[in-house]
Structure 1
Amino acid sequence: MTEGASTPSYPKSSYPTSSRNRVKRRHDRGFYDHATVHRILDASMLCHVSYVIDGQPYCTPTFFWREGTKLYWHGSSASRMLENQSEGQRVCLTVAHLDSLVLARCGFNHSADYRAVMAFGSAYLVTDPEEKERAVVAMVDRFFPDRTAGLRASNKQEIKATSFIAMEIEEASAKVRA
Structure 2
Amino acid sequence: MKNFSFQPIVKLLSLLPSIGPKSARRIAITLAKEKKITTSFIQQLTLINENVKSCKICNNLSFFQHCEICEDSLRDKNQICVVSDISNLWAIENIGVYEGVFHVLESSNILEENQYIENELKKRITDDHQEFILALNPTIEGQATIHYIKSILKEFHNVTVTSLSLGIPIGSDLDYLDSGTITIALESRKEL
The interval holding the TM-score normalised by the smaller chain is: under 0.3
Higher helix share: 2
TM-score (norm 1): 0.25
TM-score (norm 2): 0.23
Q: Which has the higher contact order (CA 8 A, sep 6+)?
A: 1
Q: Which has the larger radius of gyration?
A: 2
Higher strand share: 1
